[in-house]
Amino acid sequence: MIEELEKIPNSLVMRDGLEFKYFGSGTWKKSSSGKTLSVKNPYNGEIVGTVQACSTEEANQVILTANDSVECWNEKTQRERADVLMKAAKLMRDWANPLGYIMMKEIGKPLKSAISEILRTAEFFEATAEAGLQQEGEAIYGDTFKGFSRDKMSITYRVPLGVILCIGPFNYPFNLTGSKIAPALMAGNTVVVKPPSQGAISPLFFGLILEKAGVPPGVFNIITGKGSEIGDYLVQHPLINMISFTGSSETGKHLASVAGMKPLLLELGGKDAAIVLNDADLELTTKAIVSGAFSYSGQRCTAVKRVLPMPGIADDLIKLVKEKTLNLSIGNPEENATIGPLISSIQCDFVQGLIDDALEKGATLLCGNKREGNIMWPTLLDNVTTEMRIAWEEPFGPVLPFIRTKNIQEAIEISNKSEYGLQGMIFTENIDLAFHIAQELEVGIVQINGRSERGPDHFPFLGTKSSGLGTQGIKYSIEAMSRPKGMVLNLSDKGKLIKLCK
């Protein structure tokens, strides 16, 4: 681990050995609490490093600095802010291998996927810089409404909100933190990041990257600590002007209940269902379902979490999905095994509880239901009914239920009965029918003949019901992190030109 860290120039400034500091007001510091939190490798339990357990007073100091820095950052031109994001992207590309390695160690993501996550974030920063440069205001005449003329004109442009609190999840600790930081900075805001406790180390590198890229002290800050100790304090702080959060629906709902009138962007859980019609391309569908359900061991909010096949295709589909699932590699993330450890043993116990409940209620086990340490074998369950918890609850682990449905109407009903509404999928060659079904599904996005997923990152990404609030995606996030500022011009008759036509 130390060897990888040494590949990143100047990284010594942010740590003592494997004890990482937090970044506030442009400096790396240890918490005066004297306490640290251990980040353990979920694959083998080794301590990857420790991070500071900051106090509420330290959180307050960081927020005050971020607030004092809004004016200075907002005075920079769009071009200057875009240049900073471009430089940051370049550093991410240069350091993608060691950063990916560190992430692989702390969250057990396959090494290749962890490196791709860093590169995806670099691309996100570049595209955000480009989109920010295209931002435009608007001028509107008043004469749409009776009694008003073109002498009244509204002129709007966009201004930052102030200090944005960015709280990222463990499963994409770098990308889903970066996808909040880039639009926040581009829109002229300052940023306070609170990373997840598990997955806290890789996002700390944003401090180093952004400082080197030219972000002035105080504009970007990252504070570590227990969510239970500083989470509510950060969310409720009066100088936090907006919160962008990705995590569980439970935490998201709590956050919304304590945040008061702050604007929120919430990306929460899902129970994405794949409706498979009788004419679906079996090979394409199988590939999409298996990769959608089991990438990063199912620890994605957009994972395929239920399959609803029609009677004419169910047997063939299930056979093929089983064959492909049995071929998935299982083991060490450093060796790029598709199925690796879940983030914690508590999470494994939860997933096991869902499997046990389904089997007790009569589901058929097709494969899996085996555990070693934090690794759970990919598990397929057939003949799942709506009485079973796995039909409704989000496992965040490698288990996929097949709920055989009588017809399209029943599949739509089961799909919509979920408390979640992130994405839906329809597999068919009948595109007209797919569009009609898509219109019925109560979700943010419907994928036609593809697995549920967030990217590419300039697409809108949103969930309904318990799956989220607001819309992400590059231009949407910039909009969510800024507001229109308007001026109304009221021209008088002074100097009015005489018109010839009446």
Residues 6+ apart with CB under 8 A from 229: 53, 55, 56
Q: How far is the CB of 396 from ligand G3P (least distance, A)?
A: 9
Could you identify the residue written with the tokens 């200057």? 80
Reply yes or no on whether 501 is catalytic: no
Locate 79 and state its tokens.
Answer: 């071009």
Q: How far, in Å, CA of 179 to CA of 471, rounded? A: 12
With CA atoms as reference, report the closest residue to 402 among 478, 290, 261. 290
Q: Which is nearer to ligand G3P, 301 or 446 (CB)?
A: 301
Dihedral (CA of 309, 315, 320, 323) sign: positive
Whether residue 482 contacts residue 159, with contact meaning beta carbons closer than 8 Å, is answered with yes
- Identify the active-site residue in 106, 117, 267, 453: 267
Q: How far is the CB of 96 from ligand G3P (least distance, A)?
A: 17
Whether residue 421 contacts residue 467, with contact meaning beta carbons closer than 8 Å, is answered with yes
DSSP string, 5-54: HHTSTTGGGGEETTEEPEEETTEEE--TT--EEEEE-TTT--EEEEEE--
Locate 434 and state its tokens.
Answer: 């797919």
With CA atoms as reference, report the closest residue to 62 among 178, 157, 210, 165. 165
Reply yes or no on whether 58 is catalytic: no
Q: How far is the CB of 291 from ligand G3P (least distance, A)?
A: 10
Q: How far is the CB of 459 from ligand G3P (least distance, A)?
A: 10
Q: How far is the CB of 296 from ligand G3P (least distance, A)?
A: 8
- Identify the active-site residue in 58, 301, 393, 453: 301
Q: Which is nearer to ligand G3P, 109 or 262 (CB)?
A: 109
Q: Which is nearer to ligand G3P, 259 or 303 (CB)?
A: 303
Whether residue 20 contacts residue 4, with contact meaning beta carbons closer than 8 Å, is answered with no
Burial of 23 (C-beta count, 10 Å sphere; 0-12/13-18/19+)? buried
Contact residues toward ligand G3P (CB under 6 A) are: 171-172, 300-302, 453-455
Whether residue 449 contacts residue 427, with contact meaning beta carbons closer than 8 Å, is answered with yes
Q: How far is the CB of 95 from ligand G3P (least distance, A)?
A: 21
> Three-state secondary structure along 423-488?
EEEEECCCHHHHHHHHHHCCCCEEEECCCCCCCCCCCCECCEECCEECCECHHHHHHHCEEEEEEE
Q: Which is nearer to ligand G3P, 200 or 310 (CB)?
A: 200
Residue nearest ligand G3P by beta-carbon distance: 301
Whether residue 121 contacts residue 179, with contact meaning beta carbons closer than 8 Å, is answered with yes
Q: Which is nearer to ligand G3P, 31 or 302 (CB)?
A: 302
Q: Which is nearer to ligand G3P, 309 or 463 (CB)?
A: 463
With CA atoms as reference, report the closest residue to 454 among 468, 436, 439. 468
Q: How far is the CB of 109 from ligand G3P (least distance, A)?
A: 11
Q: Which is nearer to ligand G3P, 66 or 111 (CB)?
A: 111
Please measure the distance between the N-terminal and C-terminal CA atoms of the chain and give it in whole angstroms: 80
Pairing mode of beta strands 19-20, 15-16: antiparallel
Q: Which is nearer to ligand G3P, 237 or 305 (CB)?
A: 305
Whether residue 344 contacts residue 374, with contact meaning beta carbons closer than 8 Å, is answered with yes
Q: How far is the CB of 171 from ligand G3P (least distance, A)?
A: 5
Q: Map residue 231 onto helix, strand or coil.
A: helix
| Residues classed as catalytic | 267, 301
